[in-house]
Structure 1
């Protein structure tokens, strides 16, 4: 009896420590979500500024006769998956969206170490991969790495179009995926400038437009990284809440059992004392 009670108390102590770890992980995830959301606002402001510049330059560049690429379609998909564990089915949902967009000639670009594991389990070949950010301040560096990878392949003719797939944060978007085309770049989303003044340029208009488009895509990639990062940490928060509830229920049952064992132990001690007293009389 004493051994069972000691083992149970040791397990209770272990579960208490686990509960502390779960609370800490939940708090860290919540903090990261807030940081990412604040960074998204800054990136969107930057993208809006670049978009305004694109609208100013567009009238100065002749429209191509046929913007559609000639030849076979080479589709590149950038998938933002989880970097760490304890995020539930986060990466599963990302790759369900990836499979829905995958065609006969698709190259997969995976962001996130857990995403590599998920792709391998689904027997999806990965053309290129990189770790996901560990904090929002790393989003710009990640966007640069992805941008270098896709623009090099676009220039070499290895890709004709590029899409990005990532999860969306927020309770209203629970489980929702964003599927967005990056290239060919859609210039029709930028309304003509209200001013009729022609801007003074120090570069040829076509070269400036190309650079602005690359910068806008860079901003879109940074935004996707931040939104995915926030969504991953929200998924981790939900997983930790569920784990915390399970831990609380487990603790309650173990404490109740411990009290019962302790009561039985006390009862046995009383009986032994009583029997000893009777034997001496």
Structure 2
């Protein structure tokens, strides 16, 4: 009986250790999600500023014959922000499920090591992939890498339309997959400034608008990366919360088993003592 009690005790210790690990993972995911959410207002303000500048710059040479940035020629590009790690439920699978029909006919740019591994398992061709950083502050470096990969592809194949797909998370309904056209830029998104005077510039209008467009694209990629980073960590928080509930239930069951085992052991000892006492009493009365 004591061996059984020791085994239950070992199982309780193991479950408690697992609970501590789950709590730590949940705390790390929560901190990362909070850090990334704090960056979103600045990134959106940056994108809005670049957009307003494009609208103002378009007044300089409205009749310019410049080629639209990201004009549609050739195979389209698809940038997908997936999961970097596991322990987030079906998060990575949901993102890839949303783009499975488009991957074969696109130049496929994939972000996230976990998503890349799943794509390999599904025989989905990936033309370029990168890791999702572990720190929110490094997401701008990722956006720069994506921009450079796009430029390399444009140089080799010509300008193509590009779409980005990324997840967002809401506590009320979980993951939502966002699909947004990145290139070519929609002129309707950049209304011309109401000012009567055109802004003063030191660059030719086509080059100025081209550079501003690059800044705007960079900002859009940063926002998508931050949303994906936050969504993955929030999905992990939800998964770890569910795991903690299961662990707590298992721990309560083991603690109940431990109490019952201890009671059974005590009862058995009492029965043995009572049997021994009766045996000695019988021996004493036989003389």
- TM-score, normalised by the number of residues in structure 1: 0.94
The whole-number CA distance in structure 1 between the counterparts of 2:76 and 2:255 is 57
Q: For structure 2, which runs of at least 5 residues remain unmatched after alignment?
A: 282-287
- Whether 1:56 and 2:81 are equivalent positions in the alignment is no
The whole-number CA distance in structure 2 between the counterparts of 1:70 and 1:34 is 38
Q: How does 1:27-106 map to 2 (within 5 A)?
A: 27-61=27-61, 62=63, 64=65, 69=71, 73-102=74-103, 104=105, 106=106
- Whether 1:169 and 2:166 are equivalent positions in the alignment is no
1:66 positional shift: 8.5
1:175 positional shift: 2.3
For residue 284 of structure 2, what is the aligned residue in structure 1? Answer: none
For residue 268 of structure 2, what is the aligned residue in structure 1? Answer: 268
For residue 214 of structure 1, what is the aligned residue in structure 2? Answer: 214
Secondary structure, in 3 states, of the residue corresponding to 2:201? coil
Query: Conserved in 1, the CA contact under 8 Å of 2:77 and 2:161?
Result: yes
Per-residue Cα deviation, 1:42-89 (whole angstroms, up to 9, x for no partner): 101111111111111112243559859575x31111111111110111
Secondary structure, in 3 states, of the residue corresponding to 1:168? strand
1:16 positional shift: 0.9
Secondary structure, in 3 states, of the residue corresponding to 1:176? strand
Query: Conserved in 2, the CA contact under 8 Å of 1:74 and 1:159?
Result: no
Query: Conserved in 2, the CA contact under 8 Å of 1:74 and 1:158?
Result: no
Kindly tell me the number of residue pairs found equivalent between the two proteins. Answer: 279
- Whether 1:6 and 2:15 are equivalent positions in the alignment is no
Secondary structure, in 3 states, of the residue corresponding to 1:200? coil
For residue 255 of structure 1, what is the aligned residue in structure 2? Answer: 255
Over aligned residue pairs, what C-alpha RMSD do you find? 1.8
The whole-number CA distance in structure 2 between the counterparts of 1:226 and 1:22 is 24
For residue 200 of structure 2, what is the aligned residue in structure 1? Answer: 200
Query: Conserved in 2, the CA contact under 8 Å of 1:108 and 1:125?
Result: yes
**Range moving further from structure 2, 164-173 or 244-253:** 164-173
From the CA coordinates, give the structure whose radius of gyration is larger.
2
The whole-number CA distance in structure 2 between the counterparts of 1:69 and 1:83 is 32
Per-residue Cα deviation, 1:102-125 (whole angstroms, up to 9, x for no partner): 453x12111111011111122101
- Whether 1:134 and 2:131 are equivalent positions in the alignment is no
Query: Conserved in 1, the CA contact under 8 Å of 2:108 and 2:126?
Result: yes
Query: Conserved in 1, the CA contact under 8 Å of 2:78 and 2:164?
Result: yes
Secondary structure, in 3 states, of the residue corresponding to 1:21? helix
- TM-score, normalised by the number of residues in structure 2: 0.92
